[in-house]
Amino acid sequence: MKKINSKKGFTLVELSLALVFLAIILLTIAWLTMHITSTYEKGLAMKAVNSTAKEIIDDMSRAIAQSPARTVESLCGSIYSKKPVQKSNCIADKARKFMYQERYGNVKVNGEVQSVPINGSFCTGRYSYIWNTAYALNTADYPPQSSGVNYAANINGDATFRLRKITDFERKVCTQQLVTTYNYGGNLTYTVDWNPEINEEMLDNSENNLALYDMAVYAPTIHKLTGSGFYSASFILATLRGGVNINSYGDFCTDPPDNLDTDFAYCAINKFNFSMRAAGEKTTTER
């Protein structure tokens, strides 16, 4: 009998093509998985931004609603009762510095020096809010223009807070930052020595890692007869990381240096506007 020796198998070229095809499939699956995960996490981050902002708006709206309704003249008169020049400046400014203060500083954002909000305060006459923006807290991504400069304000030595709510019937938070000429001083220290009933952090350092980038409270409109004050405000809330640039035109989040950088991939930012009305009764301890 004639024996036929037949050998069957893949050639090296065929095997190489099969491995390349398999590698392409695996890479495509990995890319889709990363893209879906990133989209999902972005959605969670944006949901956290929106839900946290709603809590801040609700809290500030309640604080304003409970704050005393009074005219600008009476507020300036009670604080500067024996200082006519300061009283005149206060009335001309609509007593805004006793209600709202914000400081700016120069930091590098994506290699470019910009003037950005760094901290501020809002005093309602019953509760006060103090904040440090992400530009002051995240010096790794937003280094100050001058080395060794710390833009973060501190409360009794603590400079890690993000948004603090404090019971403050006498507007001490705002008044202690003003000098006798009704101008801002250079002090970044808030001394809270009156043992307030409420002294709580509203943006804790959770896994969402959110921070304010700006907070603006506009001069109130005072009703001449009732003394009720109508406030309007806006703030920008975003993730602490992500290279956020509020002065940017278009995409406010910096593109990640690589697709595996989750700090950038989950960047979320939004701006919120709201209005408030002060109609509470003034007590003997309130300003």
pLDDT digits (tens, 9 = 90+) for 106-160: 999 888 899 999 999 999 888 999 999 999 999 988 999 876 778 999 999 999 9
Does a structural domain hold residue 7? no
**280 pLDDT tier (thresholds 50, 70, 90):** low
Counting the structural domains of the chain, the total is: 1
| Structural tokens at position 170 | 């006498």
Check whether 69 has a pLDDT greater than 90: no
Q: Is the pLDDT of residue 6 over 60?
A: no
Question: Which range is least confidently modeled, 16-25, 147-156, 208-217, 254-263?
Answer: 254-263
Residue 38 resides in a domain: yes
**Residue 147 is assigned to a structural domain of this protein:** yes
pLDDT for the residue numbered 206: 61
Domain that holds residue 169: 22-278
How are beta strands 189-190 and 154-155 bridged, if at all? parallel
> Which pLDDT score is estimated for 92?
87
Whether 282 shows a pLDDT value over 70: the answer reads no
List, for residues 215-260, the tens digit of each pLDDT value.
Answer: 998 877 776 666 667 888 999 999 988 788 888 877 787 765 555 5
What pLDDT was estimated at residue 32?
83
Instruction: Report the percentage of the chain scoring pLDDT > 70.
Output: 84
Mean pLDDT of the chain: 83
**How high is the pLDDT of residue 101?**
92
Domain-located, residue 168 = yes
If you average pLDDT over residues 188-209, what whole number do you get?
Answer: 87
Res. 211: pLDDT tops 90: yes
Is residue 264 pLDDT above 80, yes or no? no
50 domain-assigned: yes
Query: Is residue 193, in this structure, part of any structural domain at all?
Result: yes
221-222 and 229-239: which strand pairing? antiparallel
